[in-house]
Chains A and B, each alone.
Chain A
Amino acid sequence: MSFFDDEEILEDFLVEAGEILEQLSEQLVQLEKQPEDKNLLNAIFRGFHTVKGGAGFLQLTPMVDCCHVTENLFDNLRNGKRQVTPELMDIVLQALDAVNNMFAQIKERMPPEPASDELLQALQVLANGDDLAGKGTQAHDLSVASRATANDAVAAEADSGSDDMTDEEFDQLLAALDSADFESEAENRASAPVESAAGADDEITDDEFEALLDQLQGASADQEPSADQEPSAGKEPSANKEPSAGKEPSADKEPAAKSSDDITEDEFEALLDQLQSGSKTSPESADAPPDTPKPVLKAESDPGATQAPNAASSSTPNAAPGPAAIDQAPVAETTVRVDTRRLDDIMNMVGELVLVRNRLVRIGSTAADEMLSKAVANLDVVTADLQTSVMKTRMQPIKKVFGRFPRVVRDLARSLKKDVVLELHGEDTDLDKNLVEALADPLVHLVRNAVDHGIETPDKREAGGKPRQGTILLAAEQEGDHILLTISDDGNGMDPDMLRGKAVEKGLMDRDAADRLSNSECFDLIFAPGFSTKTEVSDVSGRGVGMDVVKTKITQLNGSVFIDSKPGEGTRIEIKVPLTLAIMPTLMILVGDQAFALPLASVSEIFNLDLNGTHVVDGQQVVTVRDKALPLFHLRRWLTNNAPHGSSEQGTEANVVIVSVGAQRVGFVVDTLIGQEEVVIKPLGRMLHGTPGMAGATITGDGRIAVILDVPGLLKRYAA
């Protein structure tokens, strides 16, 4: 496909744009809360701009178009020409969705579908700043009615030319209007900002612009030369060049490096805007203590110390962008992108090293050699450290998943006409990359549920004596060797009796069984397939397919889910997942002379059983544990093919491991219990992949192989 001929660049684009798009959705929602945040507006503008640049290079025209108008809109927003309104945000979020859709298509190597015309038009209208033009003419109309015709003519011109009107044109238009009726009072009000903006415009000649461009490119290609150029640039419209140049490498490094075409009008506009906003804000921000930028600049300017005083004096009014730029610069230099496969390889080798260490530790403990045991102990520590470090390289902050929730909650709350605020805690908690990805869907589901089922409508909340705004708290924290995720809301909670009634109604159990359920068992009912408490099905939820998927998914990750709820006070869902999927705590057992590993997450208890105390119910041997009859299975019969029924295992004593699969609990009779061991999971080869009941293999401390059992699969295969 000629469309994507440069695969390598496309890959880079996908990675980079993917990250930016993720950030954008978060930033946009944040923007709604802090509409005046200039840094945020700038960041969003840069985000769209960078995506546009990359897309432009790859000739993804639909994406460029959509990003372009959005970018223009944000240009106006950050210049204060427009205010952020919820309606505007809806359009912008739609635009982001459109870009995301295109992005997904590009990922599939399909040509992106252009965004709908209505969306583009809506964006265009907003981006043109029509409101502002309207205000301007209105003001004139009020003061000097007789000039209405002239104004109308200009306004009409503005409308007709709206399709491609840039900021400069608009400014010119306004300026024309202003000069036409410069006596009127209205003029003064309308043109005051415009004039100062125009003044800033005048300060930059073409040559200066060229110089700036050169400097920018130099800066993005290599940061040190840019430092050298700094003083000369600092001379001119002084204050604002340095920060803008400092910011550029972080914001636009990619387009600048890849294609000089991208540094054209857009870039120029961006620069102008920075200059304009800089000169506008300078009166206020000049009050800022002049000593703040100095330490910052010291940090930045190791290569060119001479620059420091110069730049410090020139950049005082723009202290704010300075730190942001500096924050980003070192990050770009200290991070490396690594293929996860390579990390997996390293992980594998470290796993091997751990095994070798284990063997050495064994030998060391038997040989009475002090030197040896010291060395082994040393090796022990180093290997453990190495293992943790390698594990850490695979870790990602859960922010990656959490980041999408503000958007999810916002959209859902808006469509359901609810007032919901989402609080995020512990976003920096690190967990395994695979886990981060695997957790995304279940969490989205739970959060949607919380908004839809949990939080009541504002009126109902008020009637219940609660604040109109509902709160959903999403928290993550590390607890020992696992991660605890909590989703709690202050909504109407769940009523256990209602759940009992529902379960009977759905035919899941009879009235007696339902009445016997404890409250927490009632809450677990919502994980049953087909169980929905919503009477009507909406597009959000109510079909009753979600929660069982959530449960299955979490169980697959060796995690567990716990629900607590109080009617009228809210629901709290706790999810526990292991830190990593690569290493699994297991219970080692022997069946025959073969070692097997049971995932510890599914083991609930171990005890010694007198086999004479078992009963047979309906042809199935059962054991009674705390007044509950659990089916009992002999693993020897399942896992060895040469064990005749009722042979050696029919001693009177047996080791029983109780495992839980979902809500079901069963007992396994095993020959020997070895103990708990953390194992590195190795996939079975392709030939054996998918063997029922076998999850993988691992290598034990003595170098032997143990098969890791997959309990649900095992039961499905053998117990059915």
Chain B
Amino acid sequence: MADVKKQENDQVLQWVTFQLENETYGVDVMVVKEVLKFQDIAPVPGAPGYVMGIINIRGTVISVINTRCRFGLPDREPDDNTRIVIIEIGQHIIGIVVDSVAEVVYLKRSEIETPPQVNKDDSARFIQGVCHRDDQLLILVELDKLLSEEELSELDH
């Protein structure tokens, strides 16, 4: 009985997956506005370290976040696969730099597991859940947190 109910509630969610270092991450497709090839990012002197700078998308100036820095990963030179994913959270539009963007996957809500409670790892703070697919671990990122945490650290600056 409980199983049936669970299945009824089992929403299918779509996630855009991207690569960072050797891991695959996913973000909710609804917040992704577009995916751009890497372009020159104009640095803003005095900006917080995780903000790489600003880019121009059809007349709108958008701040770009260094996701590697955010997730505590070593920096890496951009290559042909590097992408800027433009996401919209609430009223705010920001760009995040990722190594590459792979695909859109469909996940049932029941497939998502809560993240393992690891220590205060940099990357762990933004993780909403994990999912095993094709022997791979897909890490689902909670973008709201990415931004709100930023605000916190912005206060620290």
Contacts and interface: CB of A to CB of B under 8 A. Distances in A.
Nearest to A703: B56
B42 A693 contact: no
A694 B59 contact: no
A639 B92 CA distance: 26
Residue from the set A355, A687, A696 with the largest chain B CB neighbour count within 10 Å: A687
Contact of B46 (A351, A687, A691, A696): A691
A355 B40 CA distance: 18
Residue from the set A595, A638, A684, A717 with the largest chain B CB neighbour count within 10 Å: A684
Interface stretch (B60-68, B70-78, B102-110): B60-68
A230 to B, nearest CB: 53
Contacts of B55: 705
A688 B56 CA distance: 15
A69 interface: no
Nearest to B157: A691
A699 B56 contact: yes
Nearest to A698: B61
A293 B90 CA distance: 60
B92 A355 contact: no
B42 A691 contact: no
A448 interface: no
A594 B42 contact: yes
Given A685-B54, A688-B51, A688-B63, A707 B42 contact: yes
A548 to B, nearest CB: 26
B115 interface: no
B45 interface: yes
A705 B47 contact: no
Nearest to B90: A686
B6 to A, nearest CB: 39
A717 B47 CA distance: 12
Residue from the set B43, B44, B60, B92 with the largest chain A CB neighbour count within 10 Å: B44
Given A594-B43, A694-B46, A705-B54, A687 B94 contact: yes
A351 B62 CA distance: 16
A685 B62 contact: yes
Contacts of B65: 687
A684 B63 contact: yes
A705 B64 CA distance: 13
Contacts of A81: none
B154 interface: yes
Nearest to A700: B56
A634 interface: no
Contact of A699 (B43, B59, B63): B59
A717 B154 CA distance: 17
Contacts of A640: 45
Nearest to A706: B42
Contacts of B93: 685
Interface residues of B, number: 25
Residue from the set B42, B48, B51 with the largest chain A CB neighbour count within 10 Å: B42
Interface string A671-697: 000000000001111111001111011
B5 interface: no
Residue from the set B40, B42, B45, B55 with the largest chain A CB neighbour count within 10 Å: B45
Contact of B63 (A595, A641, A687, A692): A687
Interface string A345-357: 0001101100100
B42 A352 contact: no
B59 A705 contact: no
A682 B57 CA distance: 12
Interface in A341-393: 348-349, 351-352, 355
A704 interface: yes
Nearest to A640: B45
B133 interface: no
Interface in A635-683: 638-641, 682-683
B154 A687 contact: yes
Given A697-B54, A703-B56, A685 B46 contact: no
Nearest to A635: B45
Contact of A684 (B40, B54, B58, B59): B54
Given A640-B45, A694-B46, A707-B45, A682 B60 contact: yes
Nearest to A687: B63
Given A694-B45, A705-B42, A706-B42, A685 B61 contact: yes
B58 to A, nearest CB: 7
A694 B44 contact: yes
Contact of A691 (B44, B58, B59, B60): B44
Contact of A351 (B51, B59, B154): B59
Nearest to B40: A704
Nearest to B147: A687
Given A683-B61, A704-B56, A639 B42 contact: no
Contacts of B28: none
Contacts of A594: 42-43
Contact of B51 (A683, A687, A704, A705): A687
A693 B46 contact: yes
Interface string B19-42: 000000000000000000000101
Given A703-B56, A705-B54, A682 B61 contact: yes
Contacts of A348: 59
Contact of B44 (A595, A683, A688): A688
Contacts of A691: 44-47
A589 to B, nearest CB: 13
Contacts of A683: 61
A640 B47 CA distance: 12
A352 B60 CA distance: 9
Nearest to B45: A639
A687 B59 contact: no
Contacts of A349: 59
B150 interface: yes
Interface in B109-152: 150
Contacts of B42: 594-595, 697, 704-707
A652 B154 CA distance: 40
A639 B63 CA distance: 18
Contacts of B46: 691-694, 717
A646 to B, nearest CB: 19
B47 A688 contact: yes
Interface string B65-102: 10000000000000000000000000011100000000
Contacts of B40: 704
A674 to B, nearest CB: 15
Contacts of A707: 42, 44-45, 54
A351 B61 CA distance: 13
B45 A693 contact: yes
Contacts of B61: 682-685, 696-697, 699, 705
Interface of A: 348-349, 351-352, 355, 594-595, 638-641, 682-688, 691-694, 696-697, 699, 703-707, 717
What are the 3 closest A-B residue pairs judged by CB atoms, nearest first? A705-B42, A352-B59, A685-B63
Interface of B: 40, 42-48, 51, 53-56, 58-63, 65, 92-94, 150, 154
Given A684-B44, A705-B55, 4 more contacts: A685-B54, A685-B62, A691-B47, A693-B45
14 contacts: A349-B59, A355-B59, A594-B43, A639-B45, A640-B45, A682-B60, A685-B54, A685-B92, A687-B65, A687-B92, A699-B56, A703-B56, A705-B54, A705-B56
